[in-house]
Structure 1
Amino acid sequence: MLAPLVYTFAAYAAGAAMGLAADRGGPRIRRDWPIYLRIQLLATSALLGLVSTWRLANPLQALAPVAITAVAVVVLIVSLTTRGRAPAGQAALDTWAAYPNGAFWVLPIAGAVAGTSASAVAAISNALYAVPNAVVIHLMRRDAPHPQRRSTNWVDQSALLALVVGGLLHLVGPAPAASRWVLIVSAPVLAFVGAALFTGSVLHPHNLEAGHSPQGIRRWMLLSTVRAGFLLPLAIATRSTSVAVVSVLSAFGAPAFNPVQLAVLYGYRSAVVNAAARWGWTLLPFGLAMALALR
């Protein structure tokens, strides 16, 4: 168990170093940063969602992931109803800032802590996030300060398309046995890619100019409390160690890597996103300690 954790955290460190190097790469890299972000969306979220759905052996396997993923709907409702005069797209971005970091934290760490069964639960949950995320992405694109081209919509919604394609492939026949290597290899790869793009996006001038505010911190704390309050009862109620591990890592973990990237991509300036990027790490030790105790 120790070796996978070491490899995963080494991948995080290497990715963060890559992000720092990219920040010093000059104006060209900063200008082209949205291109790198969309490549990441297509290459990681879509591929992982397709394979996870295709490998679903029994529909009952999806019950626990559906319950875990429902937290996204709850947080979105709270964010929209408490947004004040902010546009729905801004509230949608705030929602994602309080999401669990499914792809770049929960999936790699769940597998390292509790093995392939936890990886499967985390992978299916991550694939199912594509459904509420489709609504969030639609709202963000619609209200984006930087107008979005229609031609990029399919890339931004690629995770949802992959979920549908994976489901259709599942109906046609089972996934090949070799597909399991996608889940095995994805852990360190996602850790590396996620850390690199997260670090580069946090240091991007767009997010640095957005700054921090007490209101942003309070709103992030509110939405994060909703997240933890929804997921912790699932961890307590379940009889499955894998589900419990995924639930606590989702309740208390690294901040979602996507919001700082999406803020650059769509042009939002959000103190909530910056609060999550700075203070979200304080929750990580609690989730990791609980996951290690549960295994």
Structure 2
Amino acid sequence: MMDAATPAAATRPGRAAAARRVRGRGISVYWQAAPFALVFLLFFLLPLILTVVVSFWHYDEYQLTPAFTLENYHDVFDGCLAKLPDLCVTFATYLSTLRFCLTAWAVTLVLGFAIAYFLAFHIRSTTVQMALFLLGTVPFWTSNVIRMVAWVPLLGRNGLVNQALMGLGLTSGPLEWLLYSQFSVILAFVHLYTLFMMVPIFNSMSRIDRSLIEAARDAGATGWQTLWNVVLPLCKPGIVIGSIFVLTIVMGDFVTVGIMGGQQIASVGKVIQVQMSYLQFPIAAANAVVLLAVVLMMIWALTRLVDVRREL
């Protein structure tokens, strides 16, 4: 009996040591994640919580008063229900922002998909692909403001585009809508954010098994049929991720709207920026919370279409 019990007793220290090693590895994982969690807490969650808290404060011309009031949210939507079916200032501003958002999304989607398709299926060399990617990131070496200001000598009243059009006899005078208009705002958005759409789509395309493309061709599918029935469905996660990037950035972008719109076009981000400049922090925070809610609903709707976790 003693001999039979000895092996079982001998294995207990080994099991205990193995359990301690497992617990040690578990603790080390938490220590490794702690710096990232701390950065996430300090630079994302804490400012977000403070924004929500300040949105319920009271303010006047002289001071902010920590208190719980819904007055700021009431001011954001003041008169919106009474003016229906006409749009109040808030609804009209959100409609204008959504129009910019959806137009920029559609154009960047078409351009990003076309560029990603060319890189993934027509460029065989990985070196050439990386070189073209690097070429696409060159504009990001400068600030967004510099890249937007660069459009002014091109699209201005006496810019190169107007001079070329008048020189060719296509127009009798300069086109006023090229600059400081909705067109210039959309053009700047497309210029700035097409890469954010293209990269996730290219990532999805690079994972497509080329044997599927060959099987579709062997089955007699045309190029458009292969694109629609094979490539496009397999690229949905990349399209959704790129759409999230573009939509969320454009919704809150006020610098592009201000510069390319000549400070004449309203957007939600521009409204918040103006309120901040007048030190109206509580109502600006309320507007920011409403904007965040709208953006989160858009992200939720997009993530319901496909499982984006496969791409992460």
TM-score, normalising length: structure 2: 0.24
TM-score, normalising length: structure 1: 0.25
- Return the index of the structure with the highest Cα Rg: 2
Larger RCO of the pair (alpha carbons < 8 Å, separation 6+)? 1
